[in-house]
Structure 1
Amino acid sequence: MKLRRKLLLSAFLSLALVSNFGVSAYADATNQTNNVTLTPIAQSQDQITPLALGTYGPFYVRPENTGDHGGFIVELDSNQSNFVLKNYKVYGLHSGQKASIQWTFSDFSTGKVLLTQTIGDITSATDYAVSNLPQGGSIQVSWRSLNNNEVVGGTFVQVYGYAYQYILNCT
């Protein structure tokens, strides 16, 4: 009888956790769905990682010239509107060189740009929450170098859904 109660309690708590994550787990306090945000997550914040959450990558960022570019697609589960750039670390390779990477987040089905943001040197692994995206959407994440510095690094993607590299047609 005690085992049955424990199983029921465990199932109830699991359901409560899953239902809480369905409502933008990484959204800001205003929870505005029209304002996509890219926000660093403090290392001290505890994060619960349920089994349904997947981590994909690495997605490399290694430009050498202005205009070098790349990217990936993030497919959100139907009730999700956020994901995390996990262990993001991009920096200039040589002394005195700095990264300057422009990130663009677009709705893949409409082509609408949701957010464009430039990030400089990040030399220690940092997590960024990307929040308030179209629920269940396909998000095209693109990066482009804004300078001629040789840059190394990359990121993983943590998402309820999946992410994959795409090949750019450069003809």
Structure 2
Amino acid sequence: MIWPTDVLLLGLPNQVAEIKQEVEWFLHSWMNGLDSVQYTPQGLAWTWGGGQLRNVANAALIAQVYAKKLTAAGETAKARHYQCWALAQMRQIAGDGGRSYVIGHGNNPPTHSFHKAASCPPKPAACGWKYLNTPHANQHVLHGALVGGPDADGSFVDVRNNSASNQPFLDYNAGWTGK
């Protein structure tokens, strides 16, 4: 497994070749749909498990950080290749595939995120689990929060009790907000 910090270690002379090879295989897998990576019909990279968009956003962040390293090393063509893929994935997340997965942003964003405070009525009304299955949109908008994302077939149901697809965990948003 590759972490963004691995890419940052590329500045250390003893680890450059090994880490570079691992990072390039990781990105190659993502970009070409290898290992557990596949693509939705809309063109969004997808891998197993809940909260698929955190994986895509983190892979895109790694691609961007690595591209900066490559640009600094004079490998601009390869850097551009990684940057283009990362940008295309971030645009898919933001809505280029027909819907946005970022709350309060873009085309048809999620309005029923699995988030207790967002779904509760304004104070002084009491909040509780009774709001989990209500059909109305969340009363509070978590502007900029990334939800878990679609199924492998690209389908996404904007219902509050689908936590795997519609919950905005903090780690889902780490790669989305990084550059």
- Greater helix fraction, Structure 1 or Structure 2: 2
Please indicate, yes or no, whether the TM-score normalized by the shorter chain is above 0.5: no
TM-score (structure 1 length as normaliser): 0.31
**More relative contact order, 1 or 2 (CA 8 Å, 6+ apart):** 1
- Greater strand fraction, Structure 1 or Structure 2: 1
